[in-house]
Amino acid sequence: MSSVPHPKTYSAYGFTKKGGPLEPITFDWKDPQPGEIVVKVLACGVCASDEAAKHQGWPGVKYPIVPGHEIVGEVAAIPSTESKWKLGQVVGSGWHGGHCHLCATCRVGDYMMCEKQDVNGILRHGGYAQYVTLRTEAACAVPDGMDPAEVAPLFCAGVTMFNGLRNMSARPPDYVAIQGIGGLGHLGIQFAKAMGYRPIALSSSSAKEDLSRKLGAEVYVDGSKVDQAEALQELGGTKLIMCTAPNADVIRTLLPGLAVGGELCIVALAGEAPINLGALVTKRWSIRGWPNGVAPDSEDCVKFAKVHGIRTMVQKFPLEKAEEAYNHRSTARFRAVIIP
């Protein structure tokens, strides 16, 4: 085992009971086992899905659990078996915390759908801490010269939008509509523009029009003034609508805004909504979901963001204000990030 100088104990904030607040926890230092690395956390984004840790919203959550799956840090310790990661290297890791390599989906390389998927901050301790232990296959390199606080949200919010866009059937220069200009949406506009699409911002008011246009939106549709689906059809329909805001009623109304053969991509956990199934047949519409990505996807996303100057808008919080950061996860403009 090799390591940089490190403390015998370190601080973290975690949930100690279902529904409870984040509480300070002190952990004893543990050397990494084969297949693991220990990382000194430089930044950890706060995500809405961290609620799964608080409320046991994912099978297998056990307390205490340290949340946080938008992690950037420096490699602080590696086992003697480690051949890829080096001490001092800056790495990141997202929701996907590792895979079994043996199940049916792993055997065809679809690691995101692993039947025994590990999840950072949900099934293993995450990044609301000074140090975190990651599985080696769940880590990816972070290019030099990037702000850890801005990079951290790319490991969930960013890769979700990046991967969703590149895996749908729309092709540049098609119109792509981004519903919800928040933590995911403000990144989605930038990624769509950089990929060569014509981004359309869909919001519930006029408040984010100027920002959306600065980020690259060609069209802004204010849902408080017009029917958004009708507005999209006036443009000829859009080949893709990326739904980032968890409002099932709003998402349902957007379906008629698709062009023939268009796709409604759901990346928000929005619950149930009644859908006109007949329209899927007559218009060849599709409804798809997209979760996020594994380490190679995140590495692609971060490299793409650096090359194209895509920036995450963040609000920073020190580790001792983790509870405040968690409570601001939906109101921060646009991602709350903990800096240990």
Task: Look at residue 45 in the predicted model and tell me its pLDDT.
Answer: 98
| DSSP-derived secondary structure for 192-240 | HHHHT-EEEEEESSSTTHHHHHHHT-SEEEETTTS-HHHHHHHTT-EEE
Domain spans in the chain, listed from the N-terminal domain onward: 2-156+292-339, 158-289
Beta strands 175-179 and 238-243, pairing class: parallel
Distance, CA of 213 to CA of 218 (rounded, Å): 7
Task: Look at residue 111 in the predicted model and tell me its pLDDT.
Answer: 96
- Whether pTM > 0.75 for this model: the answer is yes
State the distance between the two ends of the chain, measured CA to CA, in whole angstroms: 25
Mean pLDDT by runs of 10 across the 340 residues of the chain is 95 97 98 98 96 94 98 98 96 97 96 96 98 98 97 98 96 97 97 98 96 98 97 97 94 96 92 87 94 96 98 97 93 91
Task: Look at residue 165 in the predicted model and tell me its pLDDT.
Answer: 97
Tell the CATH topology of 158-289: Rossmann fold (3.40.50)
What b/e sequence results for 308-318 when a residue is b if at least 16 CB atoms lie within 10 Å of its CB, and e otherwise?
Answer: eebebbbeebe
Which helix (H) or strand (E) segment holds residue 336: the answer is strand 335-339
Q: Across the strands, what pairs with 339?
A: 318
Task: Look at residue 331 in the predicted model and tell me its pLDDT.
Answer: 82
- 82 and 136 Cβ atoms separated by less than 8 Å: yes
Architecture in CATH for domain 2-156+292-339: Alpha-Beta Complex (3.90)
Measuring CA to CA, how many Å separate 270 from each of 96, 232, 250?
Answer: 21, 22, 10
Q: Tell me if the bond preceding 27 is cis, omega within 30° of 0.
A: no
Task: Look at residue 275 in the predicted model and tell me its pLDDT.
Answer: 86
CA 96 to chain centre: 10
Task: Look at residue 30 in the predicted model and tell me its pLDDT.
Answer: 97
